[in-house]
Amino acid sequence: MMKIPGFPPVSPDIGAMAARPDVAGLVKALGYPDPDIQWQAADALGALGPAATEALAAALGSRNRDIRIGAIEALAAQKSTGALPLLIETLSDRGSEIRWAAALALGSAGDARAIPPLAGALGDPDKYVRLGATHALQELGWEPGGADEWGLYLLGMMNWPALERMGRTAIPALEHALADRDPSVRAEAVGVIGRIGDPMGIRALTLALRDECEEVRWAAVRAAPSCGISPLHVPRWLQKRPRVRKHPVIAGMLNFLLPGMGYFYLGMWWGIVIFQLDVSATLWFFAYMGTEIAYEILFPIYVLLAVHAWYLSRRMPEA
pLDDT tens digit sequence for 208-239? 998 988 899 999 999 999 999 998 888 887 88
Tell the CATH superfamily of the 156-238 domain: Leucine-rich Repeat Variant (1.25.10.10)
pLDDT tens digit sequence for 278-314? 999 889 888 888 888 888 888 999 999 999 999 988 8
Average per-residue pLDDT for the chain: 90
Interatomic CA distance for residues 130 and 123, integer angstroms: 7
- Where helices occur in 30-82 by DSSP H, the ranges are 35-48, 53-59, 65-78
Interatomic CA distance for residues 292 and 285, integer angstroms: 10
Instruction: Report the number of secondary-structure helices (H) and strands (E) in the chain.
Output: 20, 0
Interatomic CA distance for residues 46 and 181, integer angstroms: 33
pLDDT tens digit sequence for 21-34? 888 999 999 999 88
Q: What is the dihedral of CA 160, 165, 166, 170, to 10 degrees?
A: 30
Interatomic CA distance for residues 68 and 300, integer angstroms: 57
Interatomic CA distance for residues 4 and 12, integer angstroms: 14
Interatomic CA distance for residues 218 and 239, integer angstroms: 13
Q: Is the pLDDT of residue 175 over 60?
A: yes
Q: Could you tell me if 87 and 76 are in contact, meaning their C-beta atoms sit under 8 angstroms apart?
A: yes
| pLDDT on residue 6 | 53
Ranges in the chain annotated CATH 1.25.10.10: 14-137, 156-238
Q: Is the pLDDT of residue 7 over 80?
A: no
CA-wise closest residue to 262 among 298, 311, 222: 311
Interatomic CA distance for residues 183 and 179, integer angstroms: 9
Distance between alpha carbon 17 and the CA centroid of its chain, in Å? 36
Q: Could you tell me if 214 and 182 are in contact, meaning their C-beta atoms sit under 8 angstroms apart?
A: no
Q: What CATH architecture does domain 14-137 belong to?
A: Alpha Horseshoe (1.25)
Interatomic CA distance for residues 145 and 207, integer angstroms: 28
| pLDDT on residue 243 | 67
| pLDDT on residue 8 | 54
| pLDDT on residue 2 | 46
Which band of pLDDT confidence, cut at 50, 70 and 90, is reported for residue 191?
very high
